[in-house]
Chains A and B, each alone.
Chain A
Amino acid sequence: MPKDMRVFLESYEKAHPEDVIRIKKQVNTAWECTAIARHFESLNKFPLIIFENLITANGEQSKFQTVINMLGDRRKLAYAIDSTFEDVAIEWRRRTDENRIKPVVISKKEAPCKENVLTGEQANLYKFPFLRHHGMDPGHYITMGLFTCYEPDSWIENTAFHRGFVAGPREIRCLLTPYTHSAYNLRKHEERDIPMKVAYQIGHHPAVIMGAETRGGYPESHYETAGGVAQEPLRLVPSETLGDDFLVSADAEIIIEGIMHPGKRDLEGPFGEYPRYFGPQQMNPVFEVTAITHRNNAICHSFMVGINNNFGGTQEEGTIYSFVKRLVPQVQRVYCPVSGAGRFHAYIQIRKTLEGQGKEAIMAALTTSEMLKHVIVVDEDIDIYDDRWVLWAVATRSQWDKDLVVIPGCRGAKLDPSVEDITTTKGGIDATMPAPPNRYSKRVYIPDDVMEKMQLEKYIDAEKIKSAPTATGR
């Protein structure tokens, strides 16, 4: 059976029933789903939630379900590609770079996404349970759709997440940030004054999504990277209204097909974005819907933008790791914590052998993306997945007159509200100990054999351990 969203949901729910929540009570797609996600986030929990009883944007009972947090934390990402909490970012990047698999094309009769084909007035976006996320968003948004278009000369497809404001029953206004490959493709079409054929593909196996939403060269096939990360060829099928050479994923839950006419723009946003601020209203390209196809009992998928940045952060880690590895092979792990919205901070763990490697790692990392602003480099004994220990290393292993790097005037992230114009100041802290043979003060420790012997469960009731409040818990 090919990897699709249903295969993942069934498998994950069986393996981790404690992390899957089905909500059967009626919930409105306007803000109520995100409110539930926000409450869970305040508990530092990101369970996969399936909303089974939803009211859509036009006030009707939805025929479909919506899933959130399917990519909500690195444990689920690791599960999706059969990796581990620590290795998932590196393995994701490795498969993207080294393991590309060509897709296969199947007939429309075989394709689950063609079980229902809606054209003309039957194609109505308001029938689907897309979510209205935050208070100042102008309406419901597609946040977990793979926006698909083709480079017009090579006819190589590009798939990427681009938010889409559902502005009418057959109109979506899409943010195609200028330096993205989707925007490059649109520019090429507009230079030739021809419409761009586009699609949103919604609901797939997380491994397929991870591979399709990859950052590669331009143009490079995202269907091949999707197959690479999923470790099987992606099944494709011709579109309904965009021609037989416009291929979409046969196993997606929902496909929205359409056209972007050259030069056509309309108002979109503000929208609550990944840095946890509303990005400003813009004039953005208009996606005119020509068809919607979907599986029977389609499952919609939404991303908790501005609540949960674990997907983007984990993706960045793989890229940073591969950049740093070229210059500092001693790099062990990279982590982009939620405190940096998954993009602005990176913690890098190295096995330091020579002086200078900490600063080399900082400089290499800062070139990976305009979004990464702050890098902290630590030694191998620091748990980079826990801010407390990274900041402890900063406190006890850095002197900022020697260990701080500050680089003003770099290109910055547009959605970072502290960025003035388009430039930002990047920097890093080398919080590593001196390289051998130099010695450094010894961390406090208790003999290993005693730690092993004194397991809490041997001395204290398990429930008592669980119920004892944490220092930061409220």
Chain B
Amino acid sequence: MAKEIWFKCSKCGKESYCDTYFDRLPDPDVMCPFCLNRMKLKDARLELKVGKN
């Protein structure tokens, strides 16, 4: 089970993450903590292997 969902800011290009329950929200936004840019998670999501297993 992943611990978090990683995403990359469409404006500044930096990476961060949100909680896995965002997958249960309908088309959620995320916010870049570095530049505060808001974007759709589906557009910014990084497909990475996350967690220990």
Residues of A at the B interface (CB closer than 8 Å) are 136-139, 267, 269-270, 278, 280-283, 417-421
Contacts and interface: CB of A to CB of B under 8 A. Distances in A.
A197 B5 CA distance: 33
Given A267-B38, A417-B3, A420-B1, A136 B19 contact: no
Given A136-B33, A138-B33, A420-B1, A282 B52 contact: no
Interface residues of B, number: 23
Contact of A420 (B18, B31, B52): B52
B16 to A, nearest CB: 6
Nearest to B4: A280
State the majority secondary structure of interface residues on B. mixed
A423 to B, nearest CB: 10
B51 A270 contact: no
A267 B40 CA distance: 12
Contacts of A280: 3-5, 17-20
B20 to A, nearest CB: 8
Contacts of A418: 52
A370 to B, nearest CB: 16
Nearest to B17: A280
Contacts of B18: 269-270, 280-282
B31 A138 contact: yes
B51 A281 contact: no
Contacts of A270: 16-18, 33
B1 A281 contact: no
Most buried by B among A269, A280, A421: A280
Contacts of B31: 138, 267, 281
A136 B33 CA distance: 6
Given A280-B19, A281-B16, A282-B19, A267 B1 contact: no
Interface in B3-28: 3-5, 16-22, 25, 28
Contact of B17 (A281, A283, A420, A421): A281
B36 A138 contact: yes
A263 to B, nearest CB: 13
A267 B19 contact: no
Contacts of A282: 18-19, 21
Contacts of B16: 136, 270, 281
B53 A283 contact: no
B53 A420 contact: yes
B38 A283 contact: no
Contacts of A419: 3
A278 B4 CA distance: 11
29 contacts: A136-B16, A136-B33, A137-B33, A138-B33, A138-B34, A138-B36, A139-B36, A267-B31, A269-B33, A270-B16, A270-B17, A280-B3, A280-B4, A280-B5, A280-B17, A280-B18, A280-B20, A281-B16, A281-B19, A281-B31, A282-B19, A282-B21, A283-B25, A283-B28, A419-B3, A420-B1, A420-B52, A420-B53, A421-B1
Contacts of B43: none
Given A280-B19, A283-B25, A136 B52 contact: no
Contacts of B38: 267
